[in-house]
Chains A and B, each alone.
Chain A
Amino acid sequence: MEELDSEPTVTLIPGVNSKKKQMCFDWGPGEMLVCETSFNKKEKSETVPGCPFIYIIRKDIDVYSQILRKLFNESHGIFVGLQRIEEELTGKSRKAQLVRVSKNYRSVIRACMEEMHQAAIAAKDPASGRQFSSQVSILSAMELIWNLCEILFIEVAPAGPLLLHLLDWVRLHVCEVDSLLADVLGSENPSKHESFWNLVTILVLQGRLDEARQMLSKEADVSPTSAGMCRILGDLMRTMPVLSPGNTQTLTELELKWQHWHEECERHLQDGTFASSPHLESLCKIMLGDEAALLEQKELLNNWYHFLVTRLLYSHPTVKPIDLHFYAQSSLDLFLGGESSPEPLDNILMAAFEFDIHQVIKECSIALSNWWFVAHLTDLLDHCKLLQSHNLYFGSNMREFLLLEYASGLFAHHSLWQLGVDYFDYCPELGRVSLELHIERIPLSTEQKALKVLRICEQRQMTEQVRSICKILAMKAVRNNRLGSALSWSIRAKDAAFATLVSDRFLRDYCERGCFSDLDLIDNLGPAMMLSDRLTFLGKYREFHRFYGEKRFCDAASLLLSLMTSQIAPRCFWVTLLTDALPLLEQKQVIFTTEQTYELMRCLEDLASGRPVRGEPGAQRLQEDIENTKLEMLRLALARNLARAIIKEGSLEGS
């Protein structure tokens, strides 16, 4: 066993006093049953009123959120698309594809966050409002982590572009500045707005120097005294060398230019160019990457990773990926300043900066209340071929383990189970067995739902499950007195035994009522008739009745005979068959030939000799008498028919 990473959380079951009573539990696929036992902890058997309920404990509660359902459904499509990305795609196009997939995932998270935010605003009671708000912050953290992982692991940005990506990352997640910007620009006199300098500072901190310059020019317009200083700082902002995507300059060139620019800034500061304006001076210090000046803006920076990115921007613009963790760690330490300890989110981001993917996933698994995030992120990283070396000491690899967890959670849900199927499909090792176990436990409320489940099983050649589902439906139909339906289902399952059972029910009903039910089905059995002997007999016997009804007596007669001679008809039914022969024997014209009559006689004697002779009293005796009378009548009719047939055949041959 590995050590536990954190203390497990305690869930209290309402109504159960665990100090006095013992509890028992049972594991389910995605949930747990808990109830109170009748055992007491202490010897004395005081009868405290117990808790009469059985509780279902679910671990993946996010599955039950209405809004998150959209996330699950929409991301399902992306997931399936990702699995189909052709393996042949290599190099650049593959990477571009993966980045696009990652962005799609993120946009789904964002859309969900947006809706959750609206819900939080519209919430009627404060409790649910709080719940929505906390979901918003969880989603936003998820997106933040995902975005960073995208930059570091999927995009694998090299020195130079790396910082540009990180800047975008920070700008995307510290977005209050945009509303502030609109607010300030919308006011009558922007530079006199109380947040004017805050705004300029934030713009500089985020490296949005063009916008900062425009703001400064507004200040210059209204205060001639500082106009000169503003222009100089503005020039510094304009001349700061940055890497632009289309540019072909090398990193060394950039570094060289940047060094010059940095020195120029330094000179201005030392010359006291901005000495008369503390605001401008502090901006200049920020642009020099002065740590103390940066830390003064803690409020505006919000968090340590913003601090990290700003610090890199103004002191190490060409930072290499491998050096990131060093700056990250020191930024975190500086920013927190020993006042507070890092939170789970900080640890996760730090692990990402250290390029420790497994640590990221592990921390996320512990911190987040759902499997959605880790399952999808891990799968995506696995497609980037980043996780191959890692094997777990249980199950298969980590990707599959997390996908299985997530899919099991979906299957525990009343209606999201359909999504889970595809996730199981893409788990090569244990997916199939998991699906087999889960799919059998789907309640089949209507035939339509059953058909959907059947389709899933049939597509995957899960014959065992197909048979079991059809059998369940056939049993249900029998219980509801729907024999036709039952027969259809057993035919679909190719379940000969059950088809025989249903056919027997049909024959019994016929014997009782003297007519067939469900003719539309029995008349149209077609090749399905061959499924079981009894079913064949049922179909053929009905065919006999049809011939008879259509007055095709000769066809009827030979079919009847062949039913007995070929041994398809069950013995118990022979009396009925022979009785059915009676009206044919009594027809005006001769129908059975001599040959056929002999056959019939043999059948009759077979039957008679096979009967146990028992002298039992009462009703049974009466029944036997009736049977014997029937046999006698048959013998008589057969004898007469034989006589007529001999004469007819003789005279025909003679003529």
Chain B
Amino acid sequence: MEEIYAKFVSQKISKTRWRPVPPGSLQTAETFATGSWDNEENYVSLWSIGDFGNVDSDGGFEGEHQLLCDIKHHGDVMDLQFFDQERIVAASSTGCVTVFLHHPNNQTLSVSQQWTTAHYHTGPGSPSRSSAPCTGVVCDNPEIVTVGEDGRINLFRADHKEAVRTIDNADSSTLHAVTFLRTPEILTVNSIGQLKIWDFRKQGNEPSQILSLTGDRVPLHCVDRHPNQQHVVATGGQDGMLSIWDVRQGTMPVSLLKAHEAEMWEVHFHPSNPDHLFTCSEDGSLWHWDASTDVPEKSSLFNQGGRSSTFLSHSISNQANVHQSLISSWLSTDPAKDRIEITSLLPSRTLSVNSLDVLGPCLVCGTDAEAIYVTRQLFS
């Protein structure tokens, strides 16, 4: 990784997300949002990596990201998602779910909608409610799904004041993350190593399917679905393991890959190049997994010279992607481990890397060491 820029921002970063580029546009990512946690005052901030026209002549600050605007957020930002180009949904440790609206004209953020007690506990025998942290949120315009420590699943619509659907006691333990499988189905992971599929067409509070890790019930912290093959799902666990699941068959993961030394906080398939996967962890590392299937040209590159082959192989796999998409490189049954190349992206170990996001050739991640790292040449 040649060009990776770090900026210290005086707040611990819990989430980083690229603003989606308009469909069909040729633009590359240039704006991202971050959320902070564990500060006395937390913020949702928008940053730009675009050039402002006043770039220093010496080029020293060219790659650095600049703060566009920020807004105070009550409680830790537990999760953050772009709803559309202008709107950002933030999940709070106070159980509140907020939609922020970005006004590009005067570069400000404002609250456009808020569900204050989306997640809450009810104490034994008393009707009093105490707030429960909302741990995950996922958006699929116009729907917003949130999960929380209270084991509750909420389905919101951007234009509705009340939740459209709530599944109380959906999980007996804490739900850590949620993602859409295919509308109207969602996928949740919890703190006892289970992956549950929920179908909003069904009534009642039972999941339509439960998949789980065997044995030690290791908590799962993150989940992401393959962008093209909706049955392929990756999760990351407390022990730093990466699990790949095929939700069509079996109740156990297809493969378990030893990865980080501590909690894996996030896992993301590359949205347009899903043979590449990215993970980050409490142990302070950020990894790039390359599973582009064996192409003859690639093996010859292998012989020629070491590490660079990862990057060189990219263009080939990119073209090959179309006809290879039928057999996913992540599900192949032969011991695939030796075919996956792993690159560590951060120059040195730091405190926990809490979040990452990839879009096109750009990657952003945020750490507890109060730094935001950005690179614009992932596959250079």
Contact = CB atoms under 8 A, between A and B. Distances in A.
A550 interface: no
A446 B14 CA distance: 13
A485 B191 contact: yes
B123 A481 contact: yes
A128 interface: no
B263 A451 contact: yes
Interface stretch (B63-71, B103-111, B209-217, B272-280): B209-217
B113 interface: no
B154 interface: no
A521 to B, nearest CB: 4
Contacts of A524: 192-194, 212, 217
Interface in A54-72: 66-67, 69-70
A517 B217 contact: no
B12 interface: yes
A526 B215 contact: yes
B85 to A, nearest CB: 29
Interface stretch (A74-82, A149-157, A390-398, A595-603): A74-82
Contacts of B369: 73, 76-77, 419
Nearest to A458: B262
Interface in B291-311: none
A628 to B, nearest CB: 32
B290 interface: no
A415 B368 CA distance: 9
A219 B369 CA distance: 54
B224 interface: no
Contact of B172 (A491, A517, A528): A517
Interface stretch (B129-137, B155-163, B228-236, B357-365): B129-137
Nearest to A84: B349
Interface string B1-27: 000000011111000000000000000
Interface string B300-324: 0000000000000000000000000
Main secondary structure of the interface of B (DSSP, over half): loop
B368 A418 contact: yes
A447 B93 CA distance: 10
Nearest to B121: A480
Contact of A521 (B93, B192, B282): B192
Nearest to A459: B262
Interface size class of B (residues with CB under 8 A): 35 or more
Main secondary structure of the interface of A (DSSP, over half): helix
A481 B121 contact: yes
Given A451-B263, A455-B262, A479-B124, A521 B172 contact: yes
B328 interface: no
A415 B135 contact: no
A67 B350 contact: no
Contacts of B216: 526-527
B172 A484 contact: yes
Contacts of A73: 8, 369-371
A452 interface: yes
A455 to B, nearest CB: 6
Given A77-B350, A517-B169, A520-B171, A69 B217 contact: no
Contacts of A483: 172
A446 B215 contact: no
A446 B370 contact: no
6 A-B pairs with the lowest CB-CB distances in the bound complex, closest first: A484-B172, A518-B172, A480-B121, A70-B8, A69-B10, A521-B172
Given A73-B8, A478-B124, 18 more contacts: A69-B8, A69-B10, A414-B38, A445-B93, A446-B76, A449-B37, A479-B123, A480-B121, A480-B132, A480-B150, A482-B121, A482-B149, A482-B172, A484-B192, A488-B173, A491-B217, A519-B172, A525-B217
Interface of A: 66-67, 69-70, 73-74, 76-77, 80-81, 414-415, 418-419, 445-449, 451-452, 455, 459, 478-485, 488, 491, 517-521, 524-528
